[in-house]
Amino acid sequence: MINFKPYLLGLALWLLHLSSSFGQADPAVTGRNLLPAPIIGGVGSPLSLTFTIGNNGAVPISGANVINQMGFAITLGNCAPSPVGTGALSGPLLNYFDITYVASINSFLAQQKTGVVLGPVSVYDLVIAATVTTASSTTAVKDIGASCNIQPPPALNNQPAGNDNAAIYTYSTQAPMPVSLVSFTAQAQPDRSVLLNWSTSWEQANKAYVIEHSKDLTSYEEVGRVTDVAGTSKTVSQYQLVDRNPYRGTSYYRLRQIDLDGSSRTYPAVAVVVDGQYGVYPNPVRTQSFTLSLDEPTTAVLHFYSASGKAVTLEKGASGSNTIELKSTESLSGGVYVLTVEERGQVRTHRLVVP
C-alpha cells in the first residue's frame, strides 16, 4: 500500500507557501457616501459624509511603528465639520486611527494607532457631520463634499493602488431636482475594467443615464447608457455599468441624466487610476529632497504642510514625463508632512514621514 501522508504534507506546505507569497496588505478607501444629495438650502445646511477605510487585503497591517502604519487625509470642500474639529467624527474607524483636524487646510489627517492591528479585510466607516460654508452658484457644478487620500505604510511595497483615492461631492439648491443623486463612484477592477456605481434617493420623469469618460476633463466619449430606470420613484435605486476598455493611467467618468422631455443634466466627474500609481519616494524622506509621481509635472499645483498646518516652501527641480524632483527650502524636522497635488481639477494628498 502506498503511503500518501508524505505527499499530502508536502502538498499542504506548498499550498501554504503559495498563499502566503500571493497575499498582500491593501490600505484602501472602499466606499463613500454623502447625504442629502443635492442639499436643499444654503449656507449652514447640514450634511453627512461617510468614508469606508481600512485594510482590504489578505495580510494584516501591524501598526507596530511609523513605517508600518497607514494613514489618510480627508479634505473638505465648501463645508466644515460641525462642531469644528474631531467632535464631528463618529464611527468604528476611530478605534484604529488617531485623527487631527487642521483648520488651515480644512482637512482631517489620520495615522494608524501604534500597535493597533488592521486585520485582513478590515474596513470601517468614518462619519463626518458638516455644514455648508459656501452655497453652490449653479447646479451644474458639484463643489460641496470631500476627497479622501490613502497613505500606505512606508514599509509596504507593491500594494494595489486603484483604491487609494475617493471623492464625493454634491451641490446646494433652493429647489428640488428631477433626480436626487446619493452617490457616484468609479473603481478600477483586477481585470483592468472600471466598475461604475451610482444610486438615487428619488427620481421624477427620468428616462436614462449615460456614462462618459475623458482623459483630460475636456473631451468626453460615451461609455454606455442605462435605460432600465426607476422613472418616477421615492425610494433608493441602485445602478451599475462596467467600462471594459478604460484609458490607461488616470481617467475621468461623469454621469449624465436624461429626462423624458429630452432635457439633461451632467454631474461632475470622478477620477480613477488604471495600471498607474502615484506617490512620493523615498518615503520615509531622510533628506530635504524627494521625487513625486504625477500626471502633469509642469502644471500641477503643489502645497506642502507640516502636521501642524504650517506651509513649507518647495523648490521644483528636474521633471520627467510623470515625475518631478522636489526639495524643501528649509530643514525638515522629524514628523509627518502632507503634500497636496492639484491637477486636472482633482486634488490628491500624500503623507510623508521624516524620521
Structure confidence by residue, pLDDT tens digits, 1-41: 455 455 544 444 444 444 433 468 999 998 898 988 889 88
Q: Which of 283, 340, 342 is nearest to 309 (CA)?
A: 340
H/E run at residue 301: strand 301-306
Looking up cell 483636524, which residue turns up? Answer: 101
Class of 279-354 in CATH: mainly beta
Tell me the per-residue pLDDT of 288-307, one tens digit each, with 9 for 90 and over: 999 998 888 888 899 999 87
Least confident of 18-22, 109-113, 148-152: 18-22
Structure confidence at residue 22 (pLDDT): 47
Stretch 319-324: mean pLDDT, rounded?
84
DSSP 79-91: EEESSSSGGGEES
In DSSP terms, which residues pair with 89 in a beta bridge?
128
Stretch 125-146: mean pLDDT, rounded?
91
Confidence of residue 111 (pLDDT cuts 50, 70, 90): very high
Structure confidence at residue 170 (pLDDT): 92
Stretch 314-327: mean pLDDT, rounded?
89
Exposure of 235 by Cβ count < 10 A (0-12 exposed, 13-18 middle, 19+ buried)?
A: exposed
Percent of the chain exceeding pLDDT 90 equals 45
Say whether pLDDT at 338 is over 50. Answer: yes
180-274 adopts what CATH topology? Immunoglobulin-like (2.60.40)
CA distance linking residue 253 with residue 233, whole number of Å: 25
Q: Give the domain ranges of the chain.
A: 27-173, 180-274, 279-354
Q: What are phi and psi of 12, to 5 degrees?
A: -65, -45
Amino acid at 269: A
Stretch 86-92: mean pLDDT, rounded?
93
Residue 123 CB partners (closer than 8 Å, separation 6+): 28, 30, 31, 52, 53, 54, 55, 56
In this chain, the answer to whether the domains covering 180-274 and 279-354 adopt an identical fold is yes
Right CATH for 27-173 from 3.30.70.890, 3.90.1150.10, 2.60.40.740, 1.20.120.1750: 2.60.40.740
Confidence of residue 272 (pLDDT cuts 50, 70, 90): confident
Are 118 and 61 in contact, with CB atoms under 8 Å apart?
yes
Greater confidence, 20 or 177? 177
Q: Which pTM does this prediction carry?
A: 0.56
The separation between CA 258 and the C-alpha centre of its own chain, rounded to angstroms, equals: 28
Tell me the per-residue pLDDT of 185-230, one tens digit each, with 9 for 90 and over: 998 887 888 999 999 888 888 899 999 999 877 889 999 999 999 8
Q: Mean pLDDT, the chain, as a whole number?
A: 86
